[in-house]
């Protein structure tokens, strides 16, 4: 296993910048998820690490080697692809053996490694089958196995679960997590599904438009999103973002809505607002940090229920507030009907404030 360092990595296609000065350090044995919407540059970044595309500028280190000019086969990496990329004419055994054959290992050693990988992934009984005789989950396990036999310095995984159905995806998610824990492998995992990143990764690198937005542990990213993009991308349902106007006065601060209501901020939040470059700020709140009241309470803001989505454990209520849709989760025994008058109370400790101009999170100090 080895650590991986990306330094000011840039990849341009003509005038289009797919990857923009991305710098990342992935520690030895760490599971890092590259996450972002389609076209954010996450797969390009992975291909740069794999050597399937060459960087326009910047450096890639695997271990202590600069690998910029090395072929994929010389980088000591293994890759798992979205469509599994199994060789259809070869049996599972031959698929697993292929990377070892290419490295001209002795037959006995290949056989030992293939059988060991098959045992670890619990597919010894599948070795003689052809890929088309396997289910999607089994195929993906073979793809993992083909990466495993190589014993590479780094595992690269490109959306390995997105071809599976929902139930299987959850199951394979824990299998890959287990795989990482058992092997203590360095894994770079690309996904567009923030839930996969949050549940599996030690650290997640959120990307958008070719830029790295935030690189931290899922808990930190969730609790302290660096900007409005990360805030709205990570977490489900997404964080509600409400555009408001800030006004300062006698040591405190008040957020006013165009709808007429206003919200008095705590001293700490007032401090944040004071650092904004503009008076327009955006209030961010996750569904679980908003309290729903059925009657007027001091400090609560009047709103109208828009839709109600019971999910069993919790009921999600969407309300219209200052032109934005606000998600609130409530206990299923609280009955809310659409168009009902409700009052919302924000948790000042757990609310987020963003500069609407720079879209960056406002910090107290």
What's the DSSP call for residue 40? S
Residue placing its CB nearer to other proteins in the complex, 10 or 105: 105
We find the least distance from the C-beta atom of residue 89 to other proteins, in angstroms, to be 4
Q: What angle do CA 96, 99, 100 make, to 5 degrees?
A: 90
We find the least distance from the C-beta atom of residue 133 to other proteins, in angstroms, to be 8
Q: Which position among 70, 85, 120, 320 is part of the footprint of other proteins (CB under 8 A)? A: 85
Whole-angstrom Cα distance, residue 194 to residue 233? Answer: 7
Residue 112: its H or E element: helix 107-120
- Residues 6 or more apart in contact with residue 309 via CB below 8 angstroms: 315, 316, 317, 318
Between residue 44 and residue 83, which ones bind other proteins under the rule CB under 8 A?
Answer: 50, 52, 71-73, 77-79, 81-83
Whole-angstrom Cα distance, residue 80 to residue 120? Answer: 17
We find the least distance from the C-beta atom of residue 156 to other proteins, in angstroms, to be 8
- Residue 241: count other Cβ atoms within 10 Å of its Cβ: 19
Stretch that binds other proteins, among 98-106, 112-120, 200-208, 223-231 (CB under 8 A): 98-106
Q: Which position among 14, 108, 132, 167 is part of the footprint of other proteins (CB under 8 A)? A: 132
Whole-angstrom Cα distance, residue 303 to residue 308? Answer: 14
Q: Which position among 54, 57, 87, 335 is part of the footprint of other proteins (CB under 8 A)? A: 87
Compute CA distances 339 → 293, 306, 314, 320, 323, whole Å. 14, 6, 19, 10, 15
Residue placing its CB nearer to other proteins in the complex, 104 or 337: 104
Q: Which position among 88, 249, 251, 260 is part of the footprint of other proteins (CB under 8 A)? A: 88
Residue placing its CB nearer to other proteins in the complex, 79 or 172: 79
We find the least distance from the C-beta atom of residue 73 to other proteins, in angstroms, to be 4
Q: Which position among 23, 57, 89, 236 is part of the footprint of other proteins (CB under 8 A)? A: 89
Asked whether position 146 contacts other proteins by CB under 8 A, the answer is yes
Closest to 327 in 3D by CA, of 312, 342, 59, 45: 342
> Using CB under 8 A as the criterion, which residues of the chain lie in contact with other proteins when the complex forms?
50, 52, 71-73, 77-79, 81-83, 85, 87-90, 98-99, 102-103, 132, 146, 150
């Amino acid at each position: 296993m080895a650590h991986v360092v990306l330094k000011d990595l840039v990849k341009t296609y003509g005038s289009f910048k797919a990857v923009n000065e991305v710098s990342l350090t992935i520690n030895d044995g760490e599971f890092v998820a590259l996450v972002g919407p389609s076209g954010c540059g996450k797969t390009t970044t992975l291909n740069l690490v794999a050597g399937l595309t060459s960087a326009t500028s910047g450096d890639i280190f695997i271990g202590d080697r600069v690998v910029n000019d090395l072929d994929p086969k010389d980088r000591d990496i293994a890759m798992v692809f979205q469509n599994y990329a199994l060789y259809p004419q070869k049996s599972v055994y031959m698929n697993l053996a292929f990377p070892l054959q290419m490295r001209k290992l002795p037959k006995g050693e290949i056989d030992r490694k293939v059988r060991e990988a098959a045992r670890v992934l619990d597919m010894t009984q599948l070795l003689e089958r052809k890929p088309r005789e396997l289910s999607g989950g089994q195929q993906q396990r073979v793809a993992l196995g083909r990466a495993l036999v190589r014993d590479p310095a780094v595992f690269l995984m490109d959306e390995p679960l997105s071809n599976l159905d929902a139930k299987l995806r959850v199951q394979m998610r824990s299998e890959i997590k287990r795989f990482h824990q058992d092997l203590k492998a360095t894994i770079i995992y690309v996904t567009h599904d923030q839930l996969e990143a949050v549940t599996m990764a030690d650290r997640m690198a959120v990307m958008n438009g070719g830029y790295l937005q935030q690189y931290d542990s899922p808990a930190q990213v969730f609790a302290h999103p660096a900007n409005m993009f990360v805030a709205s991308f990570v977490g489900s349902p997404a964080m509600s973002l409400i555009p408001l106007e800030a006004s300062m006065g006698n040591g405190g601060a008040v957020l006013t809505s165009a709808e007429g209501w206003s919200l008095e901020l705590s001293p700490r939040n007032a401090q944040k607002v004071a650092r904004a470059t503009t008076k327009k700020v955006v209030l961010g709140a996750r569904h679980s940090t908003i309290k729903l009241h059925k009657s007027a309470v001091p400090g609560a803001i009047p709103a109208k229920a828009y839709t109600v989505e019971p999910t069993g454990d919790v009921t999600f209520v969407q309300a219209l507030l200052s032109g934005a849709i606000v998600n609130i989760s409530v206990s299923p025994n609280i009955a809310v009907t659409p168009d009902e008058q409700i009052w919302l109370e924000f948790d000042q400790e757990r609310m987020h404030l963003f500069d609407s101009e720079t879209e960056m999170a406002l910090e107290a100090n």
